[in-house]
A and B are shown apart, each in its own frame.
Chain A
Amino acid sequence: MAKIPGKQHGGWQAGKAAVTASLCVALTAGPLFAAVPSSSEDPSTKPTPAGAALRLTDDQKALHALNRLTFGPRPGDLQAAEKIGLQAWFERQLNPQTIDDSAMNAVMAKFPAMQLTQAQLLERFPQPSTLRQMARQGTPLPSDPTEHAIYADAMANYNKQLDAAGVVPNAPLRGQKQVATASATPPNATMGDPDNDGTTAPAEPAAVAGKGKREAKRAGRVPYSGEPVEAILALPPDQRIAAIVGMSPVQAEAFRRELGGARLRALYVGFSPEQVETVAAMQSPIRVVGAEALESRLMRDVYSDRQLEAVMTDFWLNHFSVYARKSQNEPYLLPAYERDTIRPHALGRFEDLLVATAESPAMMVYLDNWQSIGPDSPAAQRGKRIQQFADANPNRPGLQQVAQISPKGINENYARELIELHTLGVRCEVSADRAASTLDPSCGTGYTQADVTSVAKVLTGWTIERPYGGHAGDNASDAFVFQENRHEGGPKQVLGKTIEPGGQREGLQVLHLLATSPATAQFISQKLAVRFVADNPPQAIVDRMAKSFLATGGDIKAVLRTMFNSPEFWSPPVYRAKVKTPIEFLASALRASDASVDNALPLVQAMDKLGMPVYGMQTPNGYSWTKEEWVSTNALISRLNFALVMSGDLLPGTRTDWPQLLGETKADPAAVPSAQIEKKLELLILGQPAAANTRAAVIDQSSKPGQIQEARKNLALTSDDDGADDRLMSGPKKGNPAKKAGGKGNYGGGLSMTDLAGATANDGPLATMAGLLLGSPEFQKR
């Protein structure tokens, strides 16, 4: 559409100069101009349109509350909330332990790995670094048959990759005690972890490495020679899994190949979730962990009845953002990060949450603090000695590398983001360009680079133990520990206060200082208000929330209660004014449709397409809560195609039942629905009637079913199993996570057994109409 109509309409040319001239005056004059560009974007400055309601109706209030404080209403939710009263509903949501969440727990039972402790998880699903270490040292495999199979197969996979990269190991056979056939220096191209092994050889260009791998794969294939595949598939589940676990790694791989895509599903029939995990882990343990961490996070957002807790968990996971591809350790740290670090404090005290994140291995690894050590600490002295020894013995293999990766001093990455993103906010930074006197009053005297360095010193020694069993040398991923010998001694100056020498206590003091600062109260309140109220929230509500924050020692419940009871929260201009983020769009679509999901991986992949990969924000600022970040040509295309594909049951593992939902099970599914049914669908999906244009388009298309099948081609999610493993095993992708074409590079594939290309759309008139409504402008807002 033309943006410069003047160029198209000759008559405009003549008048343009005059208009322009007068506007230049208007622009420079300022105040004259201020009233002109009224915009629906900004509720705080938008004048109430003449004749518009000054207050929300009760129905609007219910819809507003559920749109803002949950991931969108499911059928019946609005009525239920109105029945007990919004205030009572809100108080219940503020106290999630009072809400029965058994339906959610049943969903979570599909992810048994997510219930394991950190140590159990690391034992059951060995990390690539653990396998590497075991191969190097010839460590015996575990004796438990299931774990033995997982380790042996994963190890064989590892060796196969070394083989493809030209390192020539022998594929070990099941039962062999020694598996250490790998070279002492694994090639980075396949097993390397850029964050931890950056000192070894550089990766080959991806295309070349991939080609070599494929060729090696074909060349090294051993034909399947075990029990007939059909006979194994016919076994009862317990015997079937025993047969698979009992195969040698080479035979297990040959068996899978023999099975092919079509019969793969039959393999899993009747398996318990643990058995499904075992078979998947035999191919790639890290993929099981990574996939379940992402899937279970999405499933909780969709299915938990403790919706405010889910929303706040999502909010804090984004505020204290970590990145799944930081290193090969990071996926293993995500389950505990969500379950033990964030969720228990999501509606608790901010300071408890801050301390929990500071101590969490996930954050330690993501922002490098686990490696930061005092430059004058005993550990640094030792590092220097190692370096000197390495320099004096240049021919000792690997010594330089050991020396190089042993930490010798401060890494200020976490300290900076702790201040800038987690607490005070970057608006409080004092620098040569910004004097303290120019800061927001809540900043006080602000912070400087010197404060960042001091806080980094305070937090030296905050690190993590060696992982389970001490298998891995240069990786760490287990529990938080304070190590005195890494801590920088002496007093430190932080934000104008002297922190006396006190080991671990120094860090707690600084975290307390940060958590209780008025700057933090303002920063957190502002961010909450942007999430819950408006992209540009009125300052009055932010100030009121910040006051609550300070008065209650950072009680998050109290801050939310203040917000809920503020008139600004209920003012008509903010009603339906927020554009949904991709997670809000996806979760609300699934909730409005009352869809059932038994495979969440395609949804995880869809989040990539929608531009918001789960645990996929590479930088520590997390995703934005404002609309500019989420409305683009590409985002819109993805949303429209997702809406169609989901409503037409073309997302593998996600099913809708529109006739059931509308109480129209007896009607002819192919018949064009009545206007009454269309309106019912509008209320179900949008919570209110659609705009005239939307309704006209929906009704018009309802007589043209059968169009959804094609939409699948525009939402190409990866469904192939081959190669996904290699991508994960090769460590974090450093590209912009939002830009992975075709969902490549996520954890997808491992448990996804559905052949996407073979699916047929359930695209009768109701599904077509639902897809259009889910893609409508109205549904993009909350």
Chain B
Amino acid sequence: MSHSKFTVDESSWGCDMHGRDSARRNLARSGVTRRGFMKGGALALVGTSVIPAFLTRSVYAEAAAASANGKKLVVLFQRGACDGLNVVVPYAEKNYYAMRPTIGIKQEQVLDLNGFFGLHPAMAAFKPLYDQGHLAIVHAAGSPDTTRSHFDAQDYMESGTPGVKVTADGWLNRALLDERTTGKPSAFRAVALGTQVPRTLQGKVPAIAIANLADFSVGGKGPQTSPISNAFQAMYDESSDSVLHGTGQETFEAVRMLKSADPAHYQPAAGVTYPNTAFGNSLKQIAQLMKSNLGVEAAFSDIGGWDTHQNQGAATGQLATRLTEFSNTIAAFWKDMGDQSEHITIVTMSEFGRTARQNGTGGTDHGHANVMFVLGGSVKGGKVYGKWPGLSNEQLNEGRDLAVTTDFRNVLGEAAYKTLGAKDMQTVFPGSQVNPSNFLNFT
């Protein structure tokens, strides 16, 4: 392996490109994937050391060094385009009920927030968080790109570069890149609950995926790694494939740290019950990882099932069921984290909203603006942020959807800036207008 690769790897966090490195970011098109870009370098230098440094140091020491500021950002993606107009309901809008004759949430059913908006009744778990001032809402947020494709829109939101398909890394990874850290970062610094690392977390900063903490081990669950696990590690150490090589490194380090920290013994706090669903289990495990002090700084999870084209229901039904799971899970996590929640910020997003009018089959089709939630210890909650664009016919985007008045990057940027300490918004969201002077100041 050449030294040039190493230097390439090193440069990325040293220079402030102000978006001028977009050619370099065109990695997908030029075929240089992020792993090829990243792994070859750093590992080339140290990849041959016989005893990795992490074996000789305490897990806790390195974790503590990595997350010096102690703040943690949790990003939750509602995949499938959640119907924001039925989540935080603008019940005082006359046209709302005219456009949604059977799926609209009746005024007497919403959980009133401020005399204009009300929460969907299935989200009762959010109401106290809002009332206590921990939960902020940003309505009519979304992407400046108008695509109605789930896949493009998710891609743009996760890369943080609407309209630019060739961005190779995710915004949250770049936010970590920009964060000032001391010491060696923990393998758990960026973690996704699931079988894969989502686009949001892909990039130069190593990110790991874990579906189930209890199974995350090779050849046995004992307190030490098994000989067969070590044999695999030896194979992957020397693999000529940079992707497999890099993933192997991350994997075996994470396994070792997990065995040492044993997060499974952190059970949910008294009185906390997570919904027994994939999403509920994900947040439960994020809590365990955070309580284990493994150095988690950014965590990601997602929840599907929002693509309600058909029979979405109103106060009850399909969407309501999903919202119950969503809000109960987040509320359980918040309660579970107890005092530590002071240092946590949770932000939720979905690729776009849905049509303002219900469609012909009791559902809604692909729309535009949506609602985002921000929950955190330092959040100035109890308020609905953002400019409300209105729902009269001439106020709708293309005559059919809620218009976007807050760029989603502005919300994510503020969360990353104030939680992770990512100061350079042009690194996190290249080419955007995001900067601290136009933050909504919800935190």
On chain B, the residues within 8 Å of A17 by CB distance are 14
By a CB distance below 8 angstroms, the chain A residues around B131 are none
Q: Using an 8 Å CB-CB cutoff, how does the interface string of B230-269 with A read, 1 for contact, 0 for none? A: 0110111111111111011111011100000000000000
Assuming the A-B contacts A27-B15, A697-B234, A738-B194, are A368 and B310 also in contact, with contact meaning beta carbons closer than 8 angstroms in the complex?
A: yes
Bitwise, B141-153 to A at CB < 8 A (1) or not (0) is 0001111111110
Which residue from A8, A375, A426, A711 sits with its C-beta under 8 Å from B53?
A8
Q: How far is the CA of A432 from the CA of B398 in the complex (A)?
A: 10
Decide yes or no: A40 and B242 within 8 Å by CB, A368-B361, A633-B209 being known contacts: yes
Q: Interface size on B (CB < 8 Å)?
A: 137
Within 8 Å by CB of B241, from A3, A28, A40, A421, lies A40
A371 at the interface (CB under 8 A from B): yes
Does B393 interact with chain A (Cβ within 8 Å)?
no
The segment out of A31-39, A58-66, A146-154, A292-300 that lies at the interface is: A31-39
**Contact at B228–A372, with CB atoms within 8 Å?**
no
C-alpha gap A715/B222 in the complex (Å) = 14
Give chain A residues whose Cβ lies under 8 Å from the Cβ of B299: none
B366 proximal to A (CB < 8 A): yes
Per the bound structure, the CA–CA distance linking A245 and B37 in Å amounts to: 63
**With A195-B310, A693-B235 known to touch, is A41 a contact of B122 (CB < 8 Å)?**
no
Given known A-B contacts A27-B11, A202-B122, A701 and B322 have beta carbons under 8 A apart: no
- In this assembly, does A179 line the interface, its C-beta being within 8 Å of a C-beta of chain B? no
| Given A641-B219, A736-B304, A738-B196, CB of A202 within 8 Å of CB of B360 | no
Task: Report Cα–Cα, A27/B11, bound state, in Å.
Answer: 9
A139 to chain B, nearest CB (A): 25
Question: How far is it, in angstroms, between the C-alpha of A611 and the C-alpha of B212 when the chains are bound?
Answer: 12
User: Counting CB contacts under 8 A, is A254 at the interface?
Assistant: no
Whether the Cβ atoms of B46 and A2 lie closer than 8 Å is yes
Closest chain B residue to A39, Cβ basis: B36
List A29-52 residues whose CB lies under 8 Å from chain B: 30, 33-34, 36-37, 39-42, 44-45
A356 at interface (Cβ–Cβ under 8 A)?
A: no
Q: Which of B23-31, B286-294, B383-391, B423-431 lines the interface with chain A?
A: B23-31
Answer whether A429 and B304 are a contact pair too, CB < 8 Å, given A644-B228, A693-B235. Answer: no
The reply to whether the CB of A676 lies closer than 8 angstroms to some CB of chain B is: no
Which of the candidate stretches B313-321, B373-381, B435-443 sits at the interface with the other chain?
A: B313-321
Give the Cβ gap from A717 to chain B, nearest Cβ, in Å.
10
Q: Closest CB-CB distance, B200 to chain A, in whole Å?
A: 13
Are B149 and A633 touching (Cβ within 8 A)? no
A392 close to chain B: CB less than 8 A: no
The reply on B111 being an interface residue by CB < 8 A is no
Q: Which of B47, B145, B183 contacts A7 (CB 8 A)?
A: B183
A286 to B53, CA, bound (A): 53
Contacting residue for A710 out of B20, B31, B221, CB 8 A:
B221
Q: Give the CA-CA distance A433 to B163 in the complex, in Å.
A: 7
Binding stretch for chain B, among A276-284, A408-416, A747-755:
A408-416
CA distance A685 to B214 in the complex (A): 30
CB of A274 to closest CB in B, whole Å: 35
Asked whether, in the complex, the Cβ of A41 is within 8 Å of the Cβ of B31, the reply is yes
* Contact present for B234 and A449 (CB under 8 Å): no
- Which has the most chain B C-beta neighbours within 10 Å: A23, A692, A781? A23
> A552: CB under 8 A from chain B?
no
* Contact for A206 among B9, B14, B275, CB less than 8 A: B275
- Contacting pair A429 B236 (CB below 8 A): no
Please give the distance in Å from B428's CB to the nearest CB on chain A.
18
Out of A2, A404, A696, which one reaches B102, CB within 8 Å? Answer: A404
The size class of the interface chain A forms with chain B is: 35 or more
* Contact call A202/B321, Cβ cutoff below 8 A: yes
Contact residue among B31, B276, B319, B360 (Cβ-Cβ distance under 8 Å from A408)? B360
A371, A426, A619: the one contacting B152 at CB < 8 Å is A426
Task: Determine how close the nearest CB of chain B comes to the CB of A621; give it in whole angstroms.
Answer: 5
Q: How far apart are the CA atoms of A627 and B28 in the complex, in Å?
A: 12
Chain A's closest residue to B37 (CB) is A37
Closest B-chain residue to A194, C-beta based?
B318
For window 699-716 of chain A, which residues contact chain B by CB distance below 8 Å? 700-701, 704, 707-708, 710-711, 713-716
Contacts of A632 in B (CB 8 A): 195-197, 208-209, 247
Are A633 and B242 in touch, CB under 8 angstroms?
no
A225-282: which have CB < 8 Å to B? Answer: none
Q: Does A16 contact B (CB under 8 A)?
A: yes
Q: Are A772 and B232 in contact (CB under 8 A)?
A: yes
Query: Which chain B residue lies CB-closest to A37?
Result: B32
A5 interface residue per 8 A CB criterion: yes
Interface centre among B218, B275, B276, B305 (most CB of A within 10 A): B218
Against B, the Cβ 8 Å flags (1 = close, 0 = not) of A758-782 are 0000000000100110011100110
Most chain B beta-carbon neighbours within 10 Å: one of A1, A26, A697: A1
- In the complex, the answer to whether A42 meets B273 with C-beta atoms within 8 Å is no
A618 engages B216 (CB within 8 Å): no
In Å, the complex CA distance between A420 and B153 comes to 13
- In the assembled complex, which residues on chain A have CB atoms less than 8 Å from the CB atom of B36? 37, 39-42
Say yes or no: is B303 at the interface (Cβ < 8 Å to chain A): yes
Q: Are B150 and A28 in contact (CB under 8 A)?
A: no
Most buried by B among A387, A431, A635, A739: A739
Q: Given contacts A6-B10, A39-B36, is CB(A641)–CB(B209) below 8 Å?
A: no
- Tell whether A640 is near chain B: CB-to-CB under 8 Å: yes
Given the contacts A8-B53, A194-B318, A707-B226, A691 and B240 also touching, CB distance less than 8 Å = yes
**Which residues of chain A come closer than 8 Å to B413, judged between CB atoms?**
none
Q: Which among B67-75, B90-98, B277-285 touches the partner chain? A: B277-285
B25-55 CB contacts (< 8 Å) to partner A = 30-38, 40, 42-43, 45-47, 52-54
- The answer to whether B218 and A742 touch across the interface, beta carbons within 8 angstroms, is no
List the A residue with the shortest CB-CB distance to B16: A24
Q: Is B353 an interface residue (CB 8 A)?
A: no
Q: Of residues A200, A409, A452, which shows the largest number of chain B Cβ atoms within 10 Å of its Cβ?
A: A409
Instruction: Give the distance to chain B from A69, nearest Cβ to Cβ, in Å.
Output: 22
The distance in angstroms between the C-alpha atoms of A707 and B224, with both chains bound, is 14
Q: How far is the CA of A781 from the CA of B244 in the complex (A)?
A: 10
With a cutoff of 8 Å between Cβ atoms, the chain B residues found around residue A691 in the complex are 235, 238-240
Distance between Cα atoms of A693 and B240 in the complex (Å): 11
A618 adjacent to B304 (CB under 8 Å):
yes
- In the complex, which residues of chain B have a beta carbon less than 8 angstroms from the beta carbon of A45? 30-32
A77–B209 CA distance with the chains assembled, in angstroms: 36
A37 to B41, CA, bound (A): 9
Tell me which of B35, B219, B229, B309 has the highest count of chain A C-beta atoms within 10 A of its own C-beta: B219
* Complex CA distance for A621 and B5, rounded to whole angstroms: 35
Given contacts A411-B360, A704-B227, contact A741 B212 (CB under 8 A): yes
Given contacts A637-B217, A697-B232, contact A200 B317 (CB under 8 A): yes
Bound Cα distance A368, B360 (Å): 11
Asked whether any CB of chain A lies closer than 8 Å to the CB of B104, the reply is no
CA distance A535 to B15 in the complex (A): 30
Q: Closest CB of chain B to A405's CB: distance in Å?
A: 6
A–B Cβ pairs within 8 angstroms, 28 of them: A23-B7, A23-B14, A28-B17, A198-B313, A198-B318, A199-B317, A201-B316, A210-B276, A368-B309, A368-B310, A372-B361, A375-B360, A410-B359, A449-B398, A619-B79, A619-B150, A619-B151, A641-B215, A644-B228, A691-B240, A693-B235, A693-B237, A714-B221, A735-B277, A735-B303, A775-B235, A777-B244, A780-B241
B: which residues have CB within 8 A of A?
4-11, 13-15, 17, 20-21, 23-24, 30-38, 40, 42-43, 45-47, 52-54, 79-80, 102, 122, 144-152, 162-163, 183-185, 193-197, 202, 205-206, 208-212, 214-222, 226-229, 231-232, 234-245, 247-251, 253-255, 273, 275-279, 281-282, 302-305, 307, 309-314, 316-322, 324-325, 328, 359-363, 365-366, 398
Report, nearest first, the 3 A-B pairs whose CB atoms are least far apart: A409-B360, A734-B305, A42-B31
Given contacts A40-B241, A42-B31, 18 further A-B contacts (CB under 8 A): A20-B14, A33-B23, A37-B36, A44-B31, A199-B311, A207-B273, A405-B311, A405-B362, A611-B196, A631-B243, A632-B208, A633-B209, A633-B210, A640-B232, A644-B218, A716-B214, A736-B303, A739-B193
